[in-house]
Structure 1
Protein backbone atom coordinates (compact mmCIF):
# COMPACT_ATOMS: atom_id res chain seq x y z
CA UNK A 1 0.00 0.00 0.00
CA UNK A 2 1.35 3.39 -0.99
CA UNK A 3 1.89 6.02 1.66
CA UNK A 4 0.97 9.04 -0.48
CA UNK A 5 0.24 12.26 1.37
CA UNK A 6 -2.44 14.29 -0.41
CA UNK A 7 -3.66 17.62 0.92
CA UNK A 8 -6.97 19.20 0.07
CA UNK A 9 -7.55 22.96 -0.05
CA UNK A 10 -8.76 23.06 3.56
CA UNK A 11 -5.64 21.41 4.95
CA UNK A 12 -3.06 23.84 6.30
CA UNK A 13 0.52 23.44 5.13
CA UNK A 14 2.69 21.02 7.10
CA UNK A 15 4.73 22.21 10.02
CA UNK A 16 8.49 22.55 9.67
CA UNK A 17 10.22 19.27 10.43
CA UNK A 18 7.18 17.20 9.46
CA UNK A 19 7.46 13.91 7.59
CA UNK A 20 6.56 15.48 4.25
CA UNK A 21 9.59 15.14 1.97
CA UNK A 22 9.50 18.63 0.49
CA UNK A 23 7.43 21.72 1.06
CA UNK A 24 6.80 22.27 -2.65
CA UNK A 25 4.12 19.58 -2.49
CA UNK A 26 2.36 21.53 0.25
CA UNK A 27 2.63 24.80 -1.70
CA UNK A 28 0.65 23.27 -4.56
CA UNK A 29 -2.38 23.41 -2.29
CA UNK A 30 -1.86 26.93 -0.95
CA UNK A 31 -4.70 29.40 -1.32
CA UNK A 32 -4.51 33.17 -1.51
CA UNK A 33 -4.47 33.59 2.26
CA UNK A 34 -1.79 30.90 2.68
CA UNK A 35 0.52 32.75 0.28
CA UNK A 36 -0.19 36.02 2.10
CA UNK A 37 0.58 34.40 5.46
CA UNK A 38 3.81 32.97 4.06
CA UNK A 39 4.87 36.46 2.97
CA UNK A 40 3.95 37.93 6.35
CA UNK A 41 5.91 35.23 8.19
CA UNK A 42 8.97 36.10 6.08
CA UNK A 43 8.65 39.86 6.46
CA UNK A 44 12.09 40.15 8.07
CA UNK A 45 13.80 37.86 5.57
CA UNK A 46 15.65 39.85 2.93
CA UNK A 47 17.92 37.01 1.87
CA UNK A 48 15.47 34.49 0.41
CA UNK A 49 13.41 34.20 -2.73
CA UNK A 50 9.68 34.71 -3.39
CA UNK A 51 7.94 33.05 -6.31
CA UNK A 52 5.61 34.96 -8.59
CA UNK A 53 2.54 33.39 -7.02
CA UNK A 54 3.57 34.47 -3.51
CA UNK A 55 4.31 38.01 -4.66
CA UNK A 56 1.14 38.58 -6.69
CA UNK A 57 -1.19 37.04 -4.09
CA UNK A 58 0.45 39.26 -1.48
CA UNK A 59 -0.21 42.31 -3.69
CA UNK A 60 -3.82 41.20 -4.26
CA UNK A 61 -4.53 40.82 -0.53
CA UNK A 62 -2.79 44.14 0.19
CA UNK A 63 -5.03 45.90 -2.34
CA UNK A 64 -8.07 44.25 -0.77
CA UNK A 65 -7.02 45.39 2.71
CA UNK A 66 -6.48 48.93 1.43
CA UNK A 67 -9.93 49.04 -0.19
CA UNK A 68 -11.51 47.67 3.00
CA UNK A 69 -9.67 50.32 5.06
CA UNK A 70 -10.91 53.07 2.74
CA UNK A 71 -14.49 51.82 3.08
CA UNK A 72 -14.15 51.72 6.88
CA UNK A 73 -12.73 55.25 6.92
CA UNK A 74 -15.65 56.52 4.88
CA UNK A 75 -18.23 54.65 7.00
CA UNK A 76 -16.80 55.49 10.41
CA UNK A 77 -15.22 58.93 10.05
CA UNK A 78 -16.64 60.41 6.88
CA UNK A 79 -14.53 61.75 4.05
CA UNK A 80 -11.95 63.76 6.01
CA UNK A 81 -10.14 60.92 7.82
CA UNK A 82 -7.83 58.19 6.58
CA UNK A 83 -7.06 56.53 9.91
CA UNK A 84 -7.64 52.89 8.87
CA UNK A 85 -5.96 53.44 5.52
CA UNK A 86 -2.88 54.87 7.26
CA UNK A 87 -2.81 51.90 9.65
CA UNK A 88 -2.86 49.44 6.74
CA UNK A 89 -0.24 51.44 4.82
CA UNK A 90 2.19 51.62 7.75
CA UNK A 91 1.51 48.02 8.78
CA UNK A 92 2.22 46.70 5.29
CA UNK A 93 5.24 48.90 4.52
CA UNK A 94 8.03 46.58 5.68
CA UNK A 95 6.37 43.34 4.46
CA UNK A 96 5.81 44.98 1.05
CA UNK A 97 9.45 45.97 0.73
CA UNK A 98 10.72 42.55 1.78
CA UNK A 99 8.44 40.61 -0.57
CA UNK A 100 9.55 42.91 -3.42
CA UNK A 101 13.21 42.33 -2.57
CA UNK A 102 12.72 38.56 -2.36
CA UNK A 103 10.86 38.61 -5.70
CA UNK A 104 13.78 40.46 -7.28
CA UNK A 105 16.12 37.84 -5.80
CA UNK A 106 14.00 35.14 -7.43
CA UNK A 107 14.62 36.72 -10.83
CA UNK A 108 18.37 36.92 -10.18
CA UNK A 109 18.50 40.61 -9.30
CA UNK A 110 19.69 42.39 -6.19
CA UNK A 111 17.15 44.02 -3.91
CA UNK A 112 18.78 47.35 -4.69
CA UNK A 113 16.88 47.29 -8.00
CA UNK A 114 13.86 48.31 -5.92
CA UNK A 115 15.30 51.82 -5.91
CA UNK A 116 14.10 52.06 -9.52
CA UNK A 117 10.76 53.01 -7.99
CA UNK A 118 12.24 56.47 -7.44
CA UNK A 119 12.47 57.01 -11.21
CA UNK A 120 9.09 58.32 -12.39
CA UNK A 121 7.12 56.01 -14.70
CA UNK A 122 10.12 54.21 -16.26
CA UNK A 123 11.19 52.74 -12.91
CA UNK A 124 7.68 51.54 -12.15
CA UNK A 125 7.35 49.89 -15.57
CA UNK A 126 10.75 48.19 -15.26
CA UNK A 127 9.92 46.86 -11.79
CA UNK A 128 6.54 45.62 -13.02
CA UNK A 129 8.33 43.66 -15.74
CA UNK A 130 10.86 42.27 -13.26
CA UNK A 131 8.07 41.18 -10.91
CA UNK A 132 6.15 39.52 -13.74
CA UNK A 133 8.93 37.51 -15.40
CA UNK A 134 9.46 33.82 -14.77
CA UNK A 135 11.48 32.55 -11.83
CA UNK A 136 15.19 32.03 -12.47
CA UNK A 137 15.35 28.22 -12.39
CA UNK A 138 18.97 28.06 -11.25
CA UNK A 139 20.31 28.33 -7.73
CA UNK A 140 21.70 31.80 -7.16
CA UNK A 141 23.34 33.64 -4.25
CA UNK A 142 19.93 33.94 -2.52
CA UNK A 143 19.21 30.23 -2.53
CA UNK A 144 17.60 27.48 -4.60
CA UNK A 145 14.63 28.20 -6.89
CA UNK A 146 11.42 28.89 -5.03
CA UNK A 147 9.53 26.35 -7.13
Structure 2
Protein backbone atom coordinates (compact mmCIF):
# COMPACT_ATOMS: atom_id res chain seq x y z
CA UNK A 1 0.00 0.00 0.00
CA UNK A 2 1.60 3.27 -1.17
CA UNK A 3 1.20 6.12 1.26
CA UNK A 4 2.15 9.80 0.80
CA UNK A 5 1.72 12.94 2.87
CA UNK A 6 -1.11 15.38 2.20
CA UNK A 7 -0.08 18.65 0.58
CA UNK A 8 -2.42 20.55 2.90
CA UNK A 9 -2.33 19.02 6.37
CA UNK A 10 0.65 16.60 6.10
CA UNK A 11 -1.44 13.60 7.22
CA UNK A 12 -0.56 10.26 5.68
CA UNK A 13 -2.98 9.34 2.87
CA UNK A 14 -3.09 6.80 0.06
CA UNK A 15 -1.04 7.79 -3.02
CA UNK A 16 -4.03 7.47 -5.39
CA UNK A 17 -6.21 9.90 -3.40
CA UNK A 18 -7.37 12.86 -5.48
CA UNK A 19 -8.13 14.89 -2.35
CA UNK A 20 -7.21 14.48 1.30
CA UNK A 21 -10.03 12.82 3.31
CA UNK A 22 -8.94 14.82 6.38
CA UNK A 23 -8.74 18.41 5.08
CA UNK A 24 -10.04 18.11 1.50
CA UNK A 25 -6.89 19.58 -0.08
CA UNK A 26 -6.39 18.51 -3.71
CA UNK A 27 -3.41 16.27 -4.26
CA UNK A 28 -0.98 16.19 -7.16
CA UNK A 29 -1.80 13.34 -9.49
CA UNK A 30 0.86 11.21 -11.08
CA UNK A 31 0.67 11.65 -14.83
CA UNK A 32 2.17 9.31 -17.33
CA UNK A 33 2.82 10.40 -20.86
CA UNK A 34 2.75 8.13 -23.86
CA UNK A 35 5.89 9.72 -25.26
CA UNK A 36 7.73 9.93 -21.94
CA UNK A 37 8.42 12.88 -19.72
CA UNK A 38 9.22 16.26 -21.20
CA UNK A 39 12.94 15.85 -20.64
CA UNK A 40 13.96 12.44 -19.33
CA UNK A 41 17.69 13.10 -18.87
CA UNK A 42 17.37 16.56 -17.32
CA UNK A 43 19.43 18.08 -20.15
CA UNK A 44 17.58 19.30 -23.22
CA UNK A 45 20.71 19.20 -25.37
CA UNK A 46 21.44 15.56 -24.55
CA UNK A 47 17.76 14.68 -25.00
CA UNK A 48 17.71 16.22 -28.49
CA UNK A 49 20.92 14.39 -29.42
CA UNK A 50 19.50 11.09 -28.17
CA UNK A 51 16.46 11.61 -30.42
CA UNK A 52 18.62 12.81 -33.30
CA UNK A 53 16.51 11.21 -36.04
CA UNK A 54 13.08 11.11 -34.36
CA UNK A 55 10.67 13.22 -36.36
CA UNK A 56 7.54 11.90 -34.61
CA UNK A 57 6.14 13.27 -31.38
CA UNK A 58 6.44 16.64 -29.74
CA UNK A 59 9.22 18.75 -28.19
CA UNK A 60 8.49 21.37 -25.57
CA UNK A 61 9.46 24.98 -26.03
CA UNK A 62 12.04 24.64 -23.26
CA UNK A 63 13.58 21.56 -24.88
CA UNK A 64 13.91 23.28 -28.26
CA UNK A 65 15.30 26.61 -27.05
CA UNK A 66 17.74 25.04 -24.57
CA UNK A 67 19.04 22.90 -27.43
CA UNK A 68 19.47 26.03 -29.58
CA UNK A 69 21.20 27.94 -26.77
CA UNK A 70 23.62 25.16 -25.85
CA UNK A 71 24.24 24.44 -29.53
CA UNK A 72 25.15 28.10 -30.08
CA UNK A 73 27.55 28.03 -27.12
CA UNK A 74 29.28 24.88 -28.35
CA UNK A 75 29.56 26.33 -31.87
CA UNK A 76 31.19 29.47 -30.46
CA UNK A 77 33.68 27.36 -28.50
CA UNK A 78 34.57 25.41 -31.65
CA UNK A 79 34.94 28.69 -33.56
CA UNK A 80 37.37 30.00 -30.95
CA UNK A 81 39.29 26.70 -31.00
CA UNK A 82 39.50 26.93 -34.78
CA UNK A 83 40.96 30.42 -34.50
CA UNK A 84 43.48 29.39 -31.83
CA UNK A 85 44.59 26.28 -33.69
CA UNK A 86 44.47 27.98 -37.09
CA UNK A 87 42.27 25.11 -38.31
CA UNK A 88 40.46 27.28 -40.90
CA UNK A 89 37.00 26.41 -39.57
CA UNK A 90 37.31 22.64 -39.85
CA UNK A 91 36.21 21.92 -36.25
CA UNK A 92 33.23 24.29 -36.41
CA UNK A 93 32.14 22.87 -39.76
CA UNK A 94 32.39 19.27 -38.51
CA UNK A 95 30.33 20.16 -35.44
CA UNK A 96 27.72 21.93 -37.57
CA UNK A 97 27.49 18.88 -39.81
CA UNK A 98 27.15 16.58 -36.77
CA UNK A 99 24.20 18.51 -35.29
CA UNK A 100 22.44 19.27 -38.58
CA UNK A 101 20.03 16.31 -38.43
CA UNK A 102 19.30 16.64 -34.68
CA UNK A 103 18.53 20.35 -35.22
CA UNK A 104 16.01 19.59 -37.93
CA UNK A 105 14.46 16.77 -35.86
CA UNK A 106 14.00 18.86 -32.71
CA UNK A 107 12.64 21.73 -34.84
CA UNK A 108 10.09 19.43 -36.48
CA UNK A 109 9.03 18.06 -33.10
CA UNK A 110 8.68 21.64 -31.84
CA UNK A 111 6.40 22.45 -34.78
CA UNK A 112 4.37 19.36 -33.92
CA UNK A 113 3.96 20.72 -30.39
CA UNK A 114 2.15 23.74 -31.85
CA UNK A 115 0.07 21.39 -34.08
CA UNK A 116 1.87 22.28 -37.31
CA UNK A 117 3.75 20.20 -39.81
CA UNK A 118 7.55 20.15 -39.65
CA UNK A 119 7.60 21.53 -43.19
CA UNK A 120 6.91 24.99 -41.71
CA UNK A 121 10.63 25.07 -40.83
CA UNK A 122 11.30 25.93 -44.48
CA UNK A 123 9.65 29.37 -44.13
CA UNK A 124 12.18 31.66 -42.42
CA UNK A 125 10.14 34.27 -40.54
CA UNK A 126 6.92 32.32 -40.06
CA UNK A 127 8.69 29.40 -38.40
CA UNK A 128 10.23 31.69 -35.77
CA UNK A 129 6.75 32.86 -34.77
CA UNK A 130 5.59 29.25 -34.45
CA UNK A 131 8.73 28.19 -32.54
CA UNK A 132 8.13 30.75 -29.76
CA UNK A 133 4.45 29.88 -29.30
CA UNK A 134 3.37 27.82 -26.32
CA UNK A 135 2.35 24.18 -26.64
CA UNK A 136 -1.10 23.31 -27.84
CA UNK A 137 -3.02 22.12 -24.77
CA UNK A 138 -4.06 18.48 -24.71
CA UNK A 139 -3.46 15.88 -27.36
CA UNK A 140 -3.07 16.75 -31.00
CA UNK A 141 -2.48 14.71 -34.16
CA UNK A 142 1.20 14.34 -33.26
CA UNK A 143 0.68 12.90 -29.79
CA UNK A 144 -0.02 13.84 -26.19
CA UNK A 145 1.17 17.09 -24.65
CA UNK A 146 4.46 16.36 -22.92
CA UNK A 147 3.96 19.20 -20.45
CA UNK A 148 0.88 17.49 -19.06
CA UNK A 149 -1.50 20.34 -19.94
CA UNK A 150 -4.96 19.16 -20.90
TM range (shorter): 0.7 to 0.9
Structure having the higher Rg = 2
The one of 33, 39, 45 aligned to 1:36? 45
CA positional deviation for 1:114: 1.4
CA positional deviation for 1:28: 9.5
Q: For the aligned residues, what is the CA RMSD?
A: 2.5
Q: Deviations over 1:35-63 (max 9, x none)?
A: 11111111111011000000000000110
CA positional deviation for 1:21: 6.2
Residue 98 (structure 2) pairs with residue 91 (structure 1): yes
TM-score (structure 1 length as normaliser) = 0.73
Q: Distance in 2 between matches of 1:107 and 1:93?
A: 22
The one of 101, 106, 116 aligned to 2:108? 101
| 1:128 alignment counterpart | 128
Residue 48 (structure 2) pairs with residue 46 (structure 1): no
Residue 139 (structure 2) pairs with residue 139 (structure 1): yes
Consecutive unaligned residues of structure 2, counting only runs of 5 or more, are 6-29
Question: Are 2:39 and 2:47, in contact at CA under 8 Å, matched by a contact in 1?
Answer: no
Q: SS of the residue aligned with 1:2?
A: strand
Question: Could you list the runs of 4 or more consecutive aligned residues of structure 1 that deviate by over 6 angstroms after TM superposition?
Answer: none
- What does 1:53-68 align with in structure 2 at a 5 Å threshold? 53-68=62-77
Consecutive unaligned residues of structure 1, counting only runs of 5 or more, are 4-19, 117-123
Q: SS of the residue aligned with 1:97?
A: helix
| 1:2 alignment counterpart | 4
CA distance 1:21–1:130, shift in 2 (3 Å)? closer
Tell me the matched-pair count: 119
Structure with greater helix share of residues = 1
TM-score (structure 2 length as normaliser) = 0.71
CA positional deviation for 1:2: 2.6
CA distance 1:28–1:91, shift in 2 (3 Å)? closer
CA positional deviation for 1:138: 2.3
